[in-house]
Amino acid sequence: EVPLLESGGGLVQPGGSLRLSCAASGFTFTTYAMTWVRQAPGKGLEWVSTITDNHGPTYYADSVKGRFTISSDNSQSTLYLQMNSLRAEDTAVYYCAKEWEGSFDPWGQGTLVTVSS
Amino acid sequence: QSALTQPASVSGSPGQSITISCTGTSSDVGTYNLVSWYQQHPGKAPKLMIYEVSKRPSGVSNRFSGSKSGNTASLTISGLQAEDEVDYYCCSYGGSRTRWVFGGGTKLTVL
């Protein structure tokens, strides 16, 4: 059983939209904050967004604020990231991760988003 | 939301110990004991190695240890092995606005 499984990545034109999903299993989804982290090709990790447990407050990196929206469906144990007004610099592998004891564990396998014309 | 500062690369010989530093500010590393370290193999998802500055998750080798002094956290790997030759990232809680900040990553070379 894979604890976190992302989907929804792909090729999109600049200015376009994409919705990523992260299906969770093996833990009580509602009791943990969940986070999206991205990694541009050949670059380091960048925190993108967090939703606290039980549909609580949401947080965004300045680089995506106003364009990305994080949400969750507790009945489906699924995390989402709606990405609008996509830019070339949003090209990255997007990972979802469970927040645990002030860290991220586990991580999904990642889904690649490519923004290009 | 400035990234934490890590050396781009460190190296050591098999059996030796190395330390990777992670320098932040009084708004993140210096204030919160929520520093974590991740190991990442090429093309794979990061793996948690250290949490809350110095705690090891179940299953992580005791060759990995963490510490913090002021605004700088450190990851020490003792008894270097060839399999340790991958990338390492630090991360710190940055408060209610910033939430989380990562370091730029360090590539470890085992000579």
Put simply, whether B103 touches A (Cβ < 8 Å) is: yes
The residue in chain B having the minimum alpha-carbon distance to the alpha carbon of residue A102 is B34
pLDDT in tens, B29-65: 999 999 999 999 999 999 999 999 999 999 999 999 9
Q: Are A91 and A18 in contact (CB under 8 A)?
A: no
Q: Which residues of B touch A102 (CB under 8 A)?
A: 32-34, 36, 51-52, 93
pLDDT at B25 over 70: yes
pLDDT in tens, A70-110: 999 999 999 999 999 999 999 999 999 999 999 999 999 99
Q: Which of B34, B104, B105 is facing A102, going by the closest CB pair? A: B34
Q: Which of A8, A63, A6 is nearest to A35 (CA)?
A: A6
A53 pLDDT band, cuts 50/70/90, is: confident
- Please report the pLDDT score of residue B1 as a whole number: 64
Put simply, whether B3 touches A (Cβ < 8 Å) is: yes
**Cα distance from A24 to chain B (closest Cα, Å)?**
16
